[in-house]
Structure 1
Amino acid sequence: MIEGLISLASYGIVGGGTVGNFLYQLETMGVFSYVLPFLMIFALIYAILSKSGFLGKNNAVNVVLSLAVSLMALQFNFVSYFFAEIFPRMGVMLSILLVAIILMSLFLDFNSKGAKWGFGVLAAIGIVVIVLQSFSESFGWGGGSLFDGPFWWMLQDNFAAIAIGVLVVGAIIAIPLLGNKNPGATH
């Protein structure tokens, strides 16, 4: 009976032809660590150089520069670790946003300006949390928790000053924007 359990447990890695086995083979070949980050960086840099026209209309120069930058970016494992940290969290955030859209659609009209603003704020908070969580584990901002480490200790010590500063800046921005709603009215 134990032999049957062992063969079932090792089925996904050794044989069977499952999707998990295929992904495992791609991982061992370095596709997720080197090939996909290389292609993503190359495509982004090439698109930016081509669209901006910074180096002229010579595509060969754009290709060579994009190739050089994307290969240099993969010289150390910094980029691979970053992509391995941020993309799984981005998938989780997109799932949470999808559930939020479904639940909010029961109660809100998405054509109103307030609903779009609220959803934008929710998405922005999610993006900030994902980026900070990715940086905290990989790059020494914390010990694996979002609210742990020297960055967060400094934030806790100075939270009152930061909150007051944000409120003052928010008020400075909000007062002119929310000023006179009746252009014909005089004070």
Structure 2
Amino acid sequence: MRIPKPRHVAAGLLLGTALTLTACGQEHTGPTAAGPGSPSHSGTPAGPARGNVEPGSHDGAPHYHENNGFKIPKEMSPASEKAARAEAARIEPVLKRLWTAKTWDAESVRTALLKLGYRNEGPDSEQGRGTLFVQAHDPDSNPGTSIALNVRHDACVTGFVQSTNYQVTVNGRFLESGCFEPRGGH
């Protein structure tokens, strides 16, 4: 009995791998040694298999919610959402006025919103209309200020005023960062 040399085994494996990979991704419709070919399909091909796609994952990434759970706000109760929407309706005209006046520095924004009766940054309280947090944008980004108002234990009003535009939204709290959307993961 003859034992193959390691070089011959390696060459055979390499050749087999190369032949297998050159056919990768090709659809064979003709007859093969195993039997008759499958019927021809008309129309557009279905494309690659989607794999483990998670529903609601934006781009189809299989672990989107696992990897980005910290960016997904918690649910608000209906009463809290209603209260947050009422506060958003009060805040929106103030941010619009500031934007029109080209005033988006943090202190001016804070002063204007505190006139609505909000508490300045501090522990949450059921007293008053909510607790206000104001942050100037990073110096390397669009000049402006972001705001967050804790309306209740599960509801927030967030917004910004900056040189290009302003916006006010209502959302639940983020697990790790309160009302402001977290910028990065762990």
The TM-score by the shorter chain falls in which range? under 0.3
Larger of the two Rg values belongs to structure: 2
Structure 1 length normalisation: TM-score?
0.22
Decide which structure has greater helix share: 1
Decide which structure has greater strand share: 2
The one of the two structures with greater contact order (alpha-carbon pairs below 8 A, sep at least 6) is: 2
